[in-house]
Structures are given as C-alpha cells and as structure tokens.
Amino acid sequence: ENGQYAPVNDGLVAGNFQGFGGDSFNTIQNQRGDILLPDDKVSLNFLGHYDLNDQATLFGEVKYVTQETETDARPNSFWDLLFGAPDNPYLPDFIRPTAQATGGVAITLDPLLFNQRSSTERDTARVVLGLEGSFDNGWTYEFSTNYGRFEQDINRPRNVINDRFFAAIDATTDAGGSPACRSSVDPSAPALNTPFSIPSYQAGYFSFTPGDNSCVPLNIWAGQPGVTQSAADWVTTPTWDNLVIKQLSFAATIGGDFSEWFELPAGAVSFATGLELRSEESEATFDDFQLGVLPQGTPFTPGQLLEEVSDNANLVFRPQLTNRNESGRYHTKDAFIELSVPLLSDVIAANELTVDLAARYSDYSTIGEATSWKVGVVWAPIEDLAFRGGISEAVRAPNITELFGPETGATFRPSDPCDAAQINALAVDQPGLAANYQSNCVAQLQAFGVDPFNANGTYDFADPLSASFGGVTGGNKNLTEETAETITYGFVYQPSFLTGFNLTADYWEIRIDDAIESVGAQDIVDGCYQGAALNSTFCNSFTRNTNPGSAQFGGFNFLRSGDVNFAKLETSGIDISASYTFDFRDHNFEVSVTGTEVNEIDFFTNPADASEVNPELGEVNRPETAGNVGMRWNWGNLSVGWQSQYLGEMLVSFVEIETAQTLYGSDVFMEETWIHDINATYIWNDSLTIRGGINNISEEDPFGTNRAFPASPRGRMMFLGGTYKI
C-alpha cells in the first residue's frame, strides 16, 4: 500500500475456500485476457476453366488462406502457498522474525505473472482439378481430384518450468554471502513443493541437476521489480504445438435420365451415380517440455519420459497435464446411386406423384462396410399444394479429429454432484434423482476410501476443491459408427393466386444409435451418478484424490474428456418457413420468415440402462424456439437487406436443465434474444461491387458464461468492403 507492505483484509470468509470483499488478489496484471483477438488474415482464391470442346471443360481451383492470431491469456500463477525459509535472503525484514520463530512463512500468490501472450498461425491450402461435360444423349459427367492441407502452429514464449521455479524461489546464501539457490549450495536438500498441490505436483529435480550451479535465485517477495531477467529466463521456456491435417480424394459422377430407352407415363426416370475414394491423415506434435522429455542436464537419463521417474506428466506449468504426439490415417471407398421415379402427372388428385430412392455403400478402413438408404415421396394433389415425406437410415463413421485428435492437457472445474449441499437442494423438488446421486456417491466415495458420513450418520460430504484440476482431452480410437434413422413429413404451399408466395412446414424425427458426441466435464460427472446405478461409461472417465493426508481428499483430481458413443440420441421438431417476393414498379421486394420449434433433445448415455436420459432441450445453444426474419429491397444495382435472428429462452453454460431451477433458481435462465443486422450491396460495374452494413444494431451482449454467444463481443459493428473481378 503506497509502496509499503500492508496486511491483507480477507473480507467475509464463507466455507472452506470462499471469500467475499476484502482486498482480494485481482491485480491489473492478473486480469490480462483478450475479449477480441488480434487477427491478421490473407485469403487467395483462383478459379479457372478451359473449354476443350462443346462437351468437355477442364476446371481448376487453388485456394490459400493464412491467418495469425495473438492471445493475451491470464499468466501462469501459483495460487497455493509458496514457502520462504527463515534463511531466505529475500524475506522482508518485518517478516523475518516470524519466519525464524515458526520455521518459515508462506505467500499465497507469486508476483511473476509472466505475460502469456501466445500466437496461433493457421495455413489452409486446397487444390481442385477436374473435367466436366456432357454426352450426346444429354447425360452429364464430372471427374475431379481434391487435395487439401491444414496446418496450425501455437507458440507460447514463456511457459514456467515447474521444478526450476520451486528451486529458484527456495533461496539461501552461499559461502560469500550472496543469494543462491538452496539446490546449488546443498544438492541433498529436498525439493520444495506446495502443501495443497495446486497445481498438483510431485516435488523433485528433473530438468537440471542439483549442485550444477545452473539455478538462478528468484525473489518473489518484492513483487515484479524483484524478478531479474536472468531468473525469469531460467524458470521459463518457449513451448509449441503443431497440428497437420491432409485430405486427398478422387470422385466421378454421372447423371441423366433413361428417356433414350424408356419413359413412364408421367415422364422419364432420372438418375445420378458415382464413386469416391478418399484418404485423410493427421499428425499432432508437441515440444519436449510439454511431452515431459527430460533434457540434457537432468539427473536422470536425457530423453527419458518424466512420468517414468515421477507422478508428473510434463515439465511446465500444471505438470499433471498429459500431452501426447498423435498421428493417424484412414481411407474410404464410396459408391452411390439416386433415382427419381415419376409415377403420376397431371391427373385427377395427382398433379404430381414422384418417388425418390437413394443408396450408398461405404467401405471404411476403420469401421468396415456400411450401407445408407433413403426413400422419399412427393404428392401434389393440385398444382398449388404438395405433400412430402421420407424415411432414411444413414451411417456416419467417426472423422479424423474424433479418432486421432491429439491428447492434450486440460483443466476442469465441474460442480461435484456428490456435495451434500447440492443433493439436499435437489431433494426438495426431485427426491428420486437426489436419492440416486447420494446412493451412487456413497458407493464410489467409500470405494475411494472416503467416509461421506459424519459422527451422527448424516451424509455430509463437501467438495474439497478450491481450484480447477487437471486432465486430458483428445480423440478416441475406440469410437464406432453412429446410425441415424430419420422420418420427415410436411407440405409446400405455393398459391397460384399469389405469385411469389411460398409456405413450407416439415415435422422431423431423428434417432441416432451409438451417437458420437463430445461430452463436457459436468455431463461426465453428473452422468456417473444420476442413474439407478453407477454408469461405468462416465465413472471410468475421472478419478478422485485418495490421499487421506491431502486437503483435497475425495475431490476430483483427473478427468478425461472427449468424444464417446452414447446409447442413443432422440430429437424431434417442426421447421416452418414462409417467403414472398413481389415487384412494385421498378422495385423488387423479398420478405422471409423461418422458424424451428424443437420438442425434445434427449441423450441416452448408458448402453446398459435405456431409461437413463440426459435431457438437453433448453440448455445453452439448444433453445426450444429459434428463427430468422428478413427483408430485402432491390432497385437496379442497389440491394438493401435487414435480417433479425431470434433465440428463445435458454440456460447459461455449465448448467443442467433437469437441476437448474432447483439448484440455482431463475437467474441462470437467459431471456429470449433478438439480434438485428442491416446490409447493402451496390454493383458499380461488371468488375466492382461495393458492400457495407451494421451488425448487431441493438448491441446485444454475449451471455455471461460465453465469449461470443449469442452475439459477438464486438457489440455493434460496421463494415465496408468490395469485390473486384479481373
């Protein structure tokens, strides 16, 4: 305070780890973080074609996009207790008597706050070459090859090396009376750690050898001015990630009709058929510090993995996080055929009756053979009105990222569903669900050696965590294909008395067996306990602290997040759209309205219990009602448009719809949202087009738990641009 040390006002302390008011630790340096990322982007796109003759054209496309983004993230910072021994030369004089009397003192926040500005470079390239044309009988053909490559590099200039940081802050004096690292003065001294292991860390010397005099002492007791450049350089290192994805495909399609050989009374049968060969591969790599590869100078064998000599997974900040180089590839062979069969035309009660048929055979190197099919019907009893419907079964194999996405370290902080306060609150309105949680929590906690009952026999387990914990996220090589069964039916109304008007409505119902979905941390821990019995699919995805001597005993200490195959997903709803286009003198007007009403979005997570459901309708990104309204005025070369997006009420992130009202009340429900945009385009001449507009006119904000949903953090944004064709 005013350049002087002063005692901290803790404010109101509530529970084990919560406080309100007081001085806090919200320093300006710790509030680093970009809402909008600086972004430099260059995009080049070349298209061309050459007519060999009237029935054959060579075509090609070359596209290249390069983008660089910088992020100013919150810096590495240790929020646990950092120890200062009585002989630490950097201890302030007024603290030293206390340190000498008690055997040492601790500081709760280090002042390093190294700028964690990182840069991300992305390069995307695509090349397409092909031949298209037609035969004498009117059939069309296209043969093409497509190559694409994506590369991403993430560079972090200063990542804290964990064992060096603890060695550097454990300072003493050397024989000459100068500050020195204790590990240099006494190589046998035990390595420093934090009492609560936040972040979780097994103390030791791994990236250097005690006594080699490489350690540079670090003063954490004088704020940032006390940190020398040499000390900062010794305890930090640049780190990087690299990801490359490649795709190569060959395709051939032929389409036309059979009128040359036969026709039905209602017309010719048309078809399309084709073949496709596709291969995809990905490779993700990390630097040695993130992989936990021991460097030269280690007391162990250089090149050995850190996890082979300790419980740590990497050498930098949050050493419990695992990063793994990963690569994979697969290839597919596809053949398809589509038929459109006109059965009736221009007869009583059947202005049109058409049946559409489609089938696709696929052979994947990952899941094997699969077949998809579709049957659709269009019946128009009169010219103005048509009814349509269809059923289909489609198989989707897991893609390259879902299978071979790199295993990377991540941090999580879900609410613990075993916390007694949450279970008691849930029991008020949902006693059955609360009973499931408690019985399953008791079974698992006791298996981990935790007694969740107090001396009176009352369930009183409390979440012991005060910060996030580590884990991994990445691909899942054990994924299998998902199979979707879809039913749709609806109508199209185009009245002859109102030219330009179009109204459609369709009901849809989708069931996906073995649905591939990315599961978040909260869904994982909730899914473990909410059924009649423990759900092994999710319970096996996390662990708890089993050390009775730890302040975090019983709390989560590891979680694996990623894609899994659910038992099934069921969803249904109605899509409605209406549009009207009309002219008035030399002006043209377009009006459109589209909307979706969703009836259900239910995930059945447990293959062993079909009754165990996780409803998600009404959660973030899943409103019951959504729609768009648009108008456009066209006059000569000028076009002006207005669009509005509507999103119905939904929850903020990280809240489950089945427990939201009980646990949190109405505050976690976000009201319906309207977002309005306006734009204009003017065609100056055949070469130049000018465009501009205003997005988010009413300046709607993102939700408090989301960076860019449902609106951009830019708020109201104006833009102006143009296109010039050579």
The rounded distance, in Å, linking the Cα atoms of 382 and 385 is 6
pLDDT at position 131 over 50: yes
CA-wise closest residue to 409 among 493, 290, 272, 494: 290
∠ Cα 394 396 400 (to 5°): 165
Please report the DSSP string for 353-403 in residue order.
Answer: EEEEEEEEEEEETTTEEEEEEEEEEEEEEETTEEEEEEEEEEEE---HHHH
Q: Is 311 helix (H, G, I), strand (E, B) or coil?
A: coil
Q: Is 133 helix (H, G, I), strand (E, B) or coil?
A: strand
Greatest mean pLDDT among 18-22, 104-108, 616-620, 703-707:
616-620
Residue 216 Cα to chain centre, angstroms: 39
CA-wise closest residue to 95 among 215, 206, 222: 222
Q: Map 643-704 to HEC letters.
A: EEEEECCEECCCCCCCCHHHHHHHHHEECCEEEEEEEEEEECCCCEEEEEEEECCCCCCCCC
Contact (CB, 8 A) for 400 and 245: yes
Q: What is the band of 198 on the pLDDT scale with cuts at 50, 70, 90? A: low
Calculate what percentage of the chain has a pLDDT beyond 70: 93
Long-range contacts from 601-605, C-beta under 8 angstroms, 24+ separation: 601/569, 601/570, 601/571, 602/569, 602/570, 602/571, 603/515, 603/517, 603/566, 603/569, 604/566, 604/567, 604/568, 604/569, 604/570, 605/527, 605/535, 605/537, 605/538, 605/566, 605/567
Tokens of 308: 């082979």
Q: In the chain, what are the domain boundaries?
A: 409-475+523-560, 567-726
Q: What is the pLDDT of residue 1?
A: 57
Q: Where are the alpha helices (DSSP H) in 540-659?
A: none
pLDDT at position 28 over 50: no
Contact (CB, 8 A) for 130 and 60: yes
pLDDT at position 116 over 80: no
20-29, 196-205, 282-291, 435-444: the lowest-pLDDT one: 20-29
Q: What is the pLDDT of residue 113?
A: 55
CA-wise closest residue to 437 among 419, 453, 454: 419
Contact (CB, 8 A) for 276 and 250: yes
- What is the amino acid identity at position 423? I
Tokens of 322: 């695992």
Q: Is 67 helix (H, G, I), strand (E, B) or coil?
A: strand
* pLDDT tens digits for range 529-553: 988 889 888 999 999 998 888 878 9
Contact (CB, 8 A) for 490 and 505: yes
Greatest mean pLDDT among 138-147, 212-221, 541-550:
138-147
Q: What is the pLDDT of residue 79?
A: 55
Q: What is the band of 102 on the pLDDT scale with cuts at 50, 70, 90? A: very high
Q: How many residues would you count in the chain?
A: 726
Tokens of 298: 């280690």
Q: What is the band of 623 on the pLDDT scale with cuts at 50, 70, 90? A: very high
Contact (CB, 8 A) for 437 and 528: no
Tokens of 464: 């012991």
- Residue 219 neighbours by CB distance under 10 Å: 20
DSSP-derived secondary structure letter, 184: H
Q: What is the band of 320 on the pLDDT scale with cuts at 50, 70, 90? A: confident
CA-wise closest residue to 417 among 652, 658, 651: 658
Average pLDDT over residues 523-527: 91
